Amino acid sequence: GIGVPTRVLVAGQTSQFLSHAFTYEPPMLTSVSPGNGPGTGSFILTIAGNAFGTDSAYQHAIRIAQTGISEIEWFSDSSLTCKVSAGTNVNHHISVDVGQQTVSLPNAISFDGPFITGLTPQVVPAKSGQFFTVLGLNFGFQTSRVSFGSNGKTCTSVTWTSESSVACIPPAGVGVEIPLSVTVDSQSYTKDPMFGYSGPEIASVTPNIGDTGGGQRLTLEGVHFGSLRESQLRKVFVGITEASNLEWVSDSYLEVTTRAGTGLSLPVIINVQQQVSQPSSRTIHNYIFQSSSSSDVSAPVSTIAGDRGRQDVMFSPTGVAVVSKR
């Protein structure tokens, strides 16, 4: 202690107390063990040093940042123990009060950082709006931040559920096998790959016929086409030919222009950052020759000459051919 009252005893006679006359050597901290503990806390910390007093009657106090401390026990002039509550972050100072004297040890103790064990669901719609739950350890106290991808996009909403669970709504996006990170204070953990968006699906292509010279404007409707910012990552193909003038309207609607080509029942597919839609009978395009005088795009007529004479071929809007002989 400091400022301890002092009196003198001589031949059985005692002087009056002299206040604030004497101060003991201040306590000293040399080490703590363990130097790292789980974020959930509930572990026993041993503090080594000297001048902790001669018994437990001294008022001992221990502080570690905002972390709760309980069950302080005095063992000797050089050893104290305490129970540490849950905490986060690294390199915390620890302070010990003995009497009215305080001593600190810098960078004495750290808590384990976040760790990811799982994610559910692992795939969300490209337009997002859907929660996913990150499972793991040491997610702190309602201060977790969830980010993902090489550019560190963060969730639009994060709901801390527990030390082992955080719910998150990611922004709209595209792609698969995306790294996922959880940050608590200054500590981060990244798991790769972990997360992905649903791939594109085309429900319809209209019209499904066009001139071999190209220039036909096509409308694609479906889901998971992504957002406007993925424009450079999105391509539409008619057969093996990439369409031009792609215009994104929404996650479920876009338009393109066909290039010159030939062939019937060609699959129309969309590729969004290496995620490719599956072709179907509803997502085809037919190239037909159309004379310059024809004004009916929905029912163009082609004339085919063969061994059995000349035939007119008409394509209806559904792509069905009607053949008549001449």
* pLDDT at position 203 over 80: yes
- Cis bond before residue 121 (omega within 30° of 0): yes
| pLDDT tens-digit map of 20-53 | 555 667 889 999 999 999 999 999 999 999 988 8
| pLDDT tens-digit map of 245-262 | 999 999 999 999 999 999
CA–CA separation, 191 and 149 (whole Å) = 10
Average pLDDT score, the chain: 83
Mean pLDDT for the stretch of residues 93-108: 90
The DSSP annotation for 65-134 comes to TTB-EEEEEEEETTEEEEEE----SS-EEEEEEETTEEEEEEEEEEE---EEEEEESSEE-TT----EEE
Torsions phi, psi of 229, nearest 5?
A: -70, -15
Note the pLDDT of residue 69: 92
Region of poorest pLDDT, from 70-74, 120-124, 308-312: 308-312
Read off the tokens for 271: 């590729």
* pLDDT at position 286 over 80: yes
Q: How many CB atoms lie within 10 A of CB 148?
A: 27
Pairing state of beta strands 145-148 and 28-33? unpaired
> Which of the pair, 147 or 80, is modelled with greater confidence?
80
Region of poorest pLDDT, from 70-74, 110-114, 246-250, 314-318: 314-318
* pLDDT at position 206 over 50: yes
* pLDDT at position 296 over 60: no
SS3 231: helix
| CA nearest to 89, candidates 117, 69, 62, 108 | 108
pLDDT confidence band for 13 (50 / 70 / 90) = low
Mean pLDDT for the stretch of residues 193-216: 93
Note the pLDDT of residue 173: 82
CB 163 within 8 A of CB 238: no
Q: What is the DSSP letter of 229?
A: G
Mean pLDDT for the stretch of residues 123-146: 86
| CA nearest to 268, candidates 251, 253, 281 | 281
Amino acid at 75: F
Note the pLDDT of residue 84: 95
Q: What is the DSSP letter of 232?
A: G
Mean pLDDT for the stretch of residues 76-85: 93
* pLDDT at position 307 over 60: no
Read off the tokens for 294: 């024809």
Note the pLDDT of residue 284: 93
pLDDT confidence band for 238 (50 / 70 / 90) = very high
Sign of the C-alpha dihedral computed for residues 63, 69, 74 and 80 taken in this order: negative
Mean pLDDT for the stretch of residues 151-172: 85
* pLDDT at position 148 over 80: no
Q: CA-based Rg of the chain, rounded to a whole angstrom?
A: 37
Work out the percent of the chain whose per-residue pLDDT is above 70: 79
CB 96 within 8 A of CB 103: yes
Work out the percent of the chain whose per-residue pLDDT is above 90: 49
Read off the tokens for 180: 């996922």
Mean pLDDT for the stretch of residues 154-182: 87
Note the pLDDT of residue 218: 97
Strands (E), 224-278: 234-238, 241-242, 244-250, 253-257, 266-272, 275-276
Note the pLDDT of residue 304: 41
CA–CA separation, 235 and 276 (whole Å) = 9
Note the pLDDT of residue 314: 46
Mean pLDDT for the stretch of residues 56-84: 88
| CA nearest to 271, candidates 256, 285, 291 | 256
Note the pLDDT of residue 110: 95
